[in-house]
Amino acid sequence: MDNHKPCSLLKAPLTPFLPTRLIQVDPVSYGTNETHHLLVDTASFPSLPSKHTSYLTLSHRWTSTTPVSATFKQNYGLRTSTGIPSSSLPPVFQTALAIARRLSIPYLWIDSLCIIQDSDSDQASEIETMGDVYRHGICNIAASGGAGGIFSTESEGEG
């Protein structure tokens, strides 16, 4: 195993890594109040070697509702100050947030929310780190069903 490069990489400890941004899962559960999930810049987190931050990732198929809920330059400030209302998100995102809350995982990474969609420079730098984003997340939620939600058999005819 030590002489086989792919196997030796499996033994190597992971270098601490956090994506540039994560969605902080609102801990309020199942109440009647609207929950807001804050988009946080991880550069403001304490130093990485002394703090391990757990996060989930979501792999999903972009649908007609994805761009509506995405992060852009114009809504970035609001999302980092007052948060993203759950009701404004597609069912797939809402379910992923509920899964994270249920598993007591404080953060979630969703590409369309954590990458500024109308910034070429942000997209370029974030796309370059996506392998690390998925590698360091503790679990990936794969939602390939479309607009109906993670557990739905409904599929939107977009690909």
Write down the domain spans for the chain.
18-143
Bridge-based pairing of strands 55-60 and 21-24 is unpaired
pLDDT for 35 equals 80
pTM above 0.85, yes or no: no
Tens-digit pLDDT string for the chain (159 aa): 556 666 555 555 567 788 999 999 976 644 546 688 899 998 887 654 445 678 999 988 777 666 778 999 999 999 999 889 888 888 889 889 999 999 999 999 999 999 999 999 999 999 999 999 999 999 999 876 655 556 655 554 444
pLDDT for 149 equals 57
pLDDT for 120 equals 96
pLDDT for 3 equals 66
Amino acid at 154: E
CA 108 vs CA 50, 105, 116, 137: distances in Å: 20, 8, 16, 9
Q: Which of 24, 30, 32 is nearest to 79 (CA)?
A: 24
